[in-house]
Amino acid sequence: MRVSVLAGDGIGPEVIEPALAELPQGTEVVRIDAGAERFLATGELITDADLDAIKGSDALLFGAIGDPRVPDGVLERGVLLRLRKELDLYINLRPFPELGLTFVRENSEGPYAGVGERTADLATETSINTRKGIERCIRFAFDFAAKRGERLHLVHKTNVMTYAGGLWREVFDEVAAEFEDVETGYEHVDAAAYHLVTDRDRFQVIVTDNLFGDILSDLAAGIAGGLGKAASANLHPDASTRPSRCLGLFEPVHGSAPDIAGTGTADPTAAIRATQMMLEELEKESAKA
């Protein structure tokens, strides 16, 4: 087994080092030194050599990215979002076992697509939603909920985002017809945020858009006891369409936390859990083969 490790910025290296102890003996570790330090020294974000190494690995373990010395978005888009795109990791699976809740976050489109423009007086940020992109995410979520015998909620904002929400709803209802045993529900994202705090037992699996999933999973982490514990798996689940050997990028939900970097107080639990998720997914994959 070969695993790439990109520890990254801030507390990334501090939480990844203890997580590496989870790897079975004999695992080949390939270090990728992308991040703020290298960017500031050389201007490089992800090099061709980084990509080749990652694509030649079974999985990528990722620490965190982001640094106050670099303008917002440069590292996030240039490293993390670039990798999600290159590896076509269209599922962001965020389990909160303490809450009996799992998010299936669409991970390749929506407002993260990078479509928009900025002039002195105008800024647009276009949410891209393709039927193909929505459907593969929703199908994964139905499969996931069906296997676990759990309820599945779609969360969106169909009362305002009528174009995007309309297509999500349509595809959700179409796929639901194929999964008669899965109990389903729909909530607007504002109501879902409220109910996650006041009545969270109503949710078991939530499938949602990229940005809503980003926000609600931090909310869930807050309820579950802190960002220090939450882990996530960025996956391209189906081997037949996977663009490379790499089945996913596994990371803590938290960021680089530059304010506490170097103080020795970062909680490695999320990185350890991300490593465990990686090993579980690799195990499932080899069971299939």
Q: Which residues of this chain interact with ligand IPM, rule CB under 6 A?
A: 76, 80, 214, 253, 255
Query: What does 76 bind: ligand IPM, Mn ion, none (CB cut-off 5 to 8 Å by kind)?
Result: ligand IPM
Q: Which is nearer to Mn ion, 270 or 272 (CB)?
A: 270
10 binds, among Mn ion, ligand IPM, none (CB under 5 to 8 A by kind): none
Closest approach of ligand IPM to the CB of residue 94, in Å: 8
The nearer residue to Mn ion, 214 or 281, going by C-beta atoms, is 214
Distance between CA 115 and CA 105 in Å, rounded?
Answer: 19
Instruction: Provide, rounded to whole angstroms, the least separation between the CB of residue 33 and ligand IPM.
Output: 18
Binding partner of 274, given ligand IPM, Mn ion, none, CB within 5-8 angstroms per partner class:
none
| Least distance in angstroms from the C-beta of 255 to ligand IPM | 6
Instruction: Compute the residue count for the chain.
Output: 289
User: Which residue number, 67 or 214, has a Cβ lying nearer to ligand IPM?
Assistant: 214
Cβ nearer to ligand IPM, comparing 65 with 246: 65
User: Is residue 208 a contact partner of residue 62, using CB atoms and an 8 Å limit?
Assistant: no
CB nearer ligand IPM, residue 57 or residue 217: 217
Contact 93, 106 (CB under 8 A): no
CB distance 283 to 24 below 8 Å: no
Q: Which does 255 bind (CB under 5 to 8 A by kind): Mn ion, ligand IPM, none?
A: ligand IPM
The binder of 80, among ligand IPM, Mn ion, none, by C-beta within 5 to 8 A per type, is ligand IPM
Q: What one-letter code names the amino acid at 46?
A: I
Other C-beta atoms closer than 10 Å to the C-beta of 68 total: 12
Cα distance between residue 155 and residue 186, in whole Å: 6
Residues 202 and 220: their CA atoms lie apart, in Å, by 13
| Alpha helices for 177-230 (secondary structure H) | 189-198, 210-224
What is the Rg, in whole angstroms, of the alpha carbon atoms belonging to the chain?
Answer: 19
Q: At what angle do helices 131-148 and 162-176 cross, to 10 degrees?
A: 40
Rounded Cα distance between 58 and 236, Å, is 12
Residue 135 makes CB contacts below 8 A (sequence gap 6+) with 171, 175
C-beta nearest to ligand IPM: residue = 76
DSSP category for residue 65? -
Shortest separation between residue 213's beta carbon and Mn ion, angstroms: 9
Residues binding Mn ion (CB under 5 A): 214
Closest to Mn ion by CB, 112 or 142 = 112
Task: State the nearest-atom distance from the C-beta of 56 to ligand IPM, in Å.
Answer: 24
Rounded least distance, CB 214 to ligand IPM, Å: 5
Least spacing, CB of residue 216 vs ligand IPM, in Å: 11
Query: Of the two residues 105 and 156, which places its CB atom closer to ligand IPM in the complex?
Result: 105
Strand 248-252 to strand 231-235: parallel, antiparallel, or no bridges (unpaired)? antiparallel
